[in-house]
Structures are given as C-alpha cells and as structure tokens.
Amino acid sequence: MKYNTFTLIIRLLVFIKEFIPSILIAVFNGTLGFILAMNISIFASLAVLKYLEVPISLSYTQLFSIILISGALRGGVRYIEQYFNHLLAFKLLAILREKIFAILRKLSPSKLDEKNKGEILSMLQGDIETLEIFYAHTITPFAIALLTSSITALFLGIYIHWALGVFALFAYFLIGLVIPYFFYHSNHLLGEHYRQELSSSQEIYLQSIFGSYEILSQNRQKEQIQLISSTTQTLNSLSHALEEKNTYFKNLCNSAIILLNLCIILLTAFLAHQGRVENVMNILGFVTLTSSFGSVIALANLPHNLAMSFASGRRILDLLDEKPLVREGSEEFEFEELQVRNLSFEYENKQILKEINFEIKKGEISGIYGKSGSGKTTILKLLMHFYNPSGGEILYNGLPIELLSHQSLYHNVNLFSQETYLFATTIRENLKIANPNATEQELINATKEANIYELISKLPNQFDTKITDMQDNLSSGEKQRIGLARVFLKKPKLLLLDEATANIDILNESFILKTLKNLSHSMAILIISHRPSTLSICDRVYRLSEGRLQRE
C-alpha cells in the first residue's frame, strides 16, 4: 500500500497512544525550557537597560537571580524533556521490532522466500533506528514549537502591540512549516531511493560474504569488487545529494531568519517612531521576538532526516500490512494418518502438481523420487501448510489442513530439509531446540541414533562445545547428522525427510536408515530422495513425473 505523508503520520502516531503521559511531560518541560531561555535574554536586556539608567523596577540582584535560576532550570527541564522523548522512542522501537518479528513469523516461510535477506536486515536495523527521529525528535518538538509560539505571540500581541503578535505568527509559520514543507517534498523521493539502495547494498554484501567460496572458485573476485564499488558509489552519490540539499535548506533558513530579524528591527523602529509603544516595551518586544525562534528552528531542522525516516516508516508499515499466504485454523489433533486427495498446485501460472493421491499411516514408511525440480519438495511444503494447494485436499486424521492450528501441526509433523541450519551456540542448545526438557541421556541416545555421538564425545567440552568453535571443521554430513539428532530428540508423529542423507556417506546412511526403521513403529515417515539405497527401507515408493504421482 502506498501511503501519502498525512496517512503515514497518522499510522505512525497510532503506536504512541499508550505513551501520552510521557509525551505531555516532555511537551510541558520542553515548552518551559524555551520560555526560560527567552527569560535569560529578556532579563539580561533589562539589566543592560538598568545600567544605561533606564528606569527598571527590579534590582540588579533580582535580575541576575532570575537569569541564574532560569539557566539552572533550563538545564533541568531540558534533561527531563529529552529523557521522556527517548524513553518514548526506544520503547516504541522495541514494540515495533516485536511487531516485525511477529509478522515475519506469520509470513514465514512462504512469503519470506520472496524477500531478500538484505532488505529484512536493513529493516530490522536501519529502518527501525531511523524511526527514532520521528518519535524522539518530531512529535514533541512539533507540539513544543506550536505551544511556545502561541504563548509568545499572545504575549507580544496582548502586552506590547498586536502588530508584533501577528508578525511573530507569520515568522513562526514561515520558518517552522512553509520552508520545511517545501524542502521535505523536494527531498522525500531521494530519501526513499537512498533507503532502497541501502537495503540492496546489504544484500550484495551478504552475498559476497556467504558466497565467497563460489566467487573465489569461479574467479569472479574482480567482478564482485566492481559490483560492490558501484553500489557504494551510488550510495555515496545519494548521500552527497541529500547533504547538498540539506546545506541549501539550512542556508535558506538562516537567511530567512536574518531577513525576519531585519523586519523586526524595522517594525519596532516604526512603532517607536509612531509613539505607539514605550521604548522599554519596544526593546522587550524586539528581544522576545528575536530570541523566540529556538523552537521553530528545531522544527525546521527535521525535514532532512524526516525524508529518510518516513521512507523507513513506509517500508515498515508495508511489511506490517502484508497478509500471510495461508490462514491457520484452531483445531488440534494427534497424528494417526495422512490422506492426500487429488492434490494440485501451480506457481506463477505453471502447473507443478496434478491431482496426486497417496496416504500414510503411523508405523509406515513411504518414499517419493523423481527428477530435480519435479515438485518433490513442494509436496512436503504443502504438507506443512507453507502454501495453499490450488486444488484437492490434505487431511490429517480426516481433518482438512486448513482447519488445523499451526502449533498443533508443527508439534505432530517435522520437516527435515537437505540444508541443516545450526545456531551460533552450543551443540546442547542446538539439540534442545527440539526438546528443551531433554535429559543428558536423551541427548546421548539421539546423537547415537544419528551416529554423531562418537564425534561429540571426543570434543573437549562435548555437548557444551560451541558450534562457532568447530564450524570450519564440521563437514556438511556432520552438520546433517546433528540436525537428524535434533529430529530424533523431538520424535514427531510424522517425519518428512527431504534428501536427509544427501550429504552423508553410505556407511553413516546405512546406520541412520536402521534407526529410521526402528523409529517407524511409533511414527510415520515420508522420505524424498534420489538415492535408491535411501528408499530401500520404504513400505511404498512413488515416482513423481510431470506433476503426477505413480506408485512403483
């Protein structure tokens, strides 16, 4: 969804409703801070007038006491304002991160397959942090500027002369709204482009790191360096363009303030010449007005950062608005049998599966083989409800998969893919992801079943060895066996194996197949493999060809 600026601001403001007390405290202290700052200038000018023997009712002691107290209080209220501003901002950023992780869980894994990792990483790190500008440096400064300007304009209009009050409103409106508005609209597309390029560059950096072996083996270092260099130059150009516009805007804003100060001098001189304002009050009006631009200048400095902040806000809201490809139900079940009836699936107008049928019950092992890209893995993803089928139905214990809660589905069914991901923690913690309450003996049994215990037992810290300490010494087959041990520790009711022994040598595969055969008495197993040896333990074998499934 494309958000215009007004809609975007409203959507972002929705998140602050529970922090209204913090905002009010920050606004009160911020407004008081600017009034105290003006007090310093006003009473300092009165001290100068007293020195020039202009009749002033206050003594030097009183004047300097007010100046010192105003300065001290200014520091205190400024601290309170900033404290509550950033308390609000960082709590909101934490909430937004939780919301993003929640939506990523709902979207995964189907929709996440379509997104590049650099974009997600950029969103979690850069975009969230960029929103801090909006929440900590925009909401309360805007309210403070509005309140401070209104109080100052009323003071000038009521106690000195209405013309000064009207001119003050014009000056605040020009500096705080008009100039920033035009600057933002000339800048926001550039800011969005910068954020997009930043996420693209992070994807390129990730590919360069994780694909370093392929880059070196194919002798593509020069081309990859050129790609990184080109991306960096694009980012630098965009950053330079943003800085140039920001410099131009600051110069324009400073020039406008100088011209407005000249106008104030002319206006107060005119009022003095006409005898409409006493000299002392005229000087006070001049000092008050010229020292009151602080709050609107703070507001005027925002558009440069807001351009990127709003670009980040749009990207985050677009993600939060995304809908999962599948909807989960609420039914729970304990697996006994799986039935697949006339299952069809198409992707991007290409028919992948055509009316396939099979069933599997607890205690049975079934296998599917076929050419690479024939749709074998797609079947497993459909059984995990990562995608909705185009036709037909998947029934667990007679219940359509659409009616089942994902928590119940994932409790009963476990998918083990060819690529095993090990987290950057200990072997113990990697295994206990499957069963947090597993005992030491259960860990030993599971790793023995995966024929990996001998390797682990020889390590100095055994199960407490960090994966990062042995990452370079772990073969893909050993990683896969640790992953299988994790599966054996969970003991699902239905185990889906996608080329689970592809990286394992024949001897280890034979041992693991015996384990699977023994475990099949308490679970159902569906094996996807291109190895005839792997399918040798199956009770039934199916061949997938041109989207159709045939029993061998």
Q: Mind listing the pLDDT tens digit for each residue in 332-390?
A: 888 888 888 988 888 777 888 888 888 888 888 888 888 877 788 888 888 888 888 88
**Interatomic CA distance for residues 283 and 60, integer angstroms:** 18
Q: Which helix (H) or strand (E) holds 218?
A: none
pLDDT digits (tens, 9 = 90+) for 94-110: 888 888 888 877 776 76
- How far is 326 from 347, CA to CA, in rounded Å? 15
Q: Give residue 5's pLDDT.
A: 74
Nearest to 166 by CA among 300, 9, 88, 271: 271
CB burial class (10 A; 0-12, 13-18, 19+) of residue 46?
buried
Question: Which residues of the chain carry a pLDDT beneath 70?
Answer: 1-2, 108, 110-119, 121-122, 125, 187-188, 210, 213, 217-218, 276-278, 304, 468-474, 501-504
pTM for the model stands at 0.70
Instruction: For residue 456, give Cα distances in angstroms to 435, 447, 514.
Output: 19, 8, 21
What is the torsion angle, in degrees rounded to the nearest 10, for the CA atoms of residue 415, residue 419, residue 425 and residue 431?
40
- Give pLDDT, residue 304: 67
> DSSP states of 470-494 as a string?
HGGG--HHHHHHHHHHHHHHH--SE
The amino acid present at 111, given as its one-letter code, is K
- The Cα 521–Cα 510 span in angstroms is 18
Q: Output phi, psi for 495, to 5 deg.
A: -110, 125
Residue 496's DSSP bridge partners are 415, 526
Q: Token pair for residue 280?
A: 């002392």
Q: What is the largest CA-CA distance in the chain?
A: 112
Domains with residue ranges and CATH for the chain = 5-9+18-320 (1.20.1560.10), 337-551 (3.40.50.300)
Mapped onto helix, strand or coil, the DSSP state of residue 540 is: strand
**DSSP 8-class letter at 4:** P
Q: Tell me if 142 sits within 8 A of 299, measured CB to CB.
A: yes
